C-alpha cells in the first residue's frame, strides 16, 4: 500500500456517508480492508494496523465518520478506536 492510497481512501470516506456507515460497523482491520477494496483501493489489514499509529486524530475522525475515539462505540481495530 502506498500512503497515497490510504490518504485517497480517507478523502473518499470523508465525502461518502455510505462508506462512513460501513466503517462504523467494521469489526476489525480485515473488515476495513475489505471495505477499502470494495471502494477500489488497495489497502491490506496489515497496512491499516501500521498506519493507525501514524494517522492524525483528524484523519482517524474522518475515517470514522466523525466519531470521537474516547467513549464512542463506533467500532475498533485491534482495540483502538478509529
Quick one: average pLDDT of 48-57? 74
Give the HSE-up count for residue 35: Cα atoms under 13 Å, Cβ half-sphere. 24
Domain boundaries, the chain: 3-76
Residue 70's contacts (CB-CB under 8 Å, 6 or more residues apart) are 81
Q: Encode pLDDT of 20-41 as tens digits.
A: 999 999 989 899 999 999 999 9
pLDDT at 30: 93
- Binning pLDDT at 50, 70 and 90, where does residue 4 land? confident
- The pTM score is 0.65
Separation of alpha carbons 73 and 3, rounded Å: 27
Q: How many CB atoms lie within 10 A of CB 4?
A: 8
CA-based torsion, 23, 25, 29, 32: positive or negative: negative
Closest-CA residue to 29 (of 7, 50, 15)? 50
Amino acid at each position: 500500500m502506498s500512503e497515497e492510497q490510504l490518504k485517497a481512501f480517507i478523502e473518499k470516506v470523508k465525502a461518502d456517508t455510505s462508506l462512513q456507515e460501513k466503517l462504523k460497523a467494521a469489526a476489525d482491520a480485515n473488515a476495513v480492508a475489505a471495505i477499502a477494496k470494495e471502494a477500489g483501493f488497495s489497502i491490506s489489514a496489515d497496512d491499516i494496523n501500521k498506519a493507525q499509529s501514524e494517522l492524525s486524530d483528524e484523519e482517524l475522525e474522518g475515517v470514522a465518520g466523525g466519531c470521537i475515539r474516547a467513549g464512542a462505540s463506533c467500532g475498533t481495530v485491534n482495540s483502538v478506536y478509529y
